[in-house]
Amino acid sequence: MPCRCEGYDDAGSDELQRELDRTTQSLCFLCGQIEGAGSWNLFGNSRIEAWWKHHLANDTKRVKHAVSQMLEQHNGTISANNIAIVLIREAEKVHPVSEWHKEWFQALADQGKTQFDADRAKAQQLKTSIADKLSTEEIEFNQH
């Protein structure tokens, strides 16, 4: 007999959604532990591993967006470490966060900050390059 979610026959959709979220968070935590230990080969469950890859891709997209928003909100002055701290604290308000996930948050914050700084430097370089090609009169004209 396959496993089933018992005791929710009369539950409303809100309760079922909460239970699904709790189960997803638990599975995510466990998969993070497995990933951190490099132990996928011990389980051989392609269904769970496929779920993990899909879930991780969605989480990565969501977290990268959150990192970008924080960088924009702070005009790039917030450090990657502080971004990771905020992300981890917010996640821990909802569920336990594996050590692998903490490192993952930090890596995404590092990548986001590096990309933000590189993009900002490139934009400044382009702005300077354009300004170097304009005369004083053209620059003054463009500022009005």
**Does residue 20 lie within any of the structural domains?**
yes
In a domain, 7, yes or no: no
Residues near 31 by beta carbon (within 8 Å), at least 6 away in sequence: 48, 51, 52, 55, 56
Looking at this protein, which amino acid is placed at residue 5? C
- Does residue 6 belong to any structural domain of this protein? no
pTM of the prediction?
Answer: 0.79
Tokens of 11: 């539950």
**Per-residue tens of pLDDT for the chain, all 144 residues:** 556 666 666 667 888 888 889 999 999 999 999 999 999 999 888 999 999 999 999 999 999 999 999 999 999 999 999 999 999 999 999 999 999 999 999 999 999 999 999 999 898 887 777 666 666 776 677 666
Query: What domain range includes position 74?
Result: 13-143
Residue at 8 is within a domain: no
Q: At residue 128, what is the residue type?
A: T
Structural domain count of the chain: 1
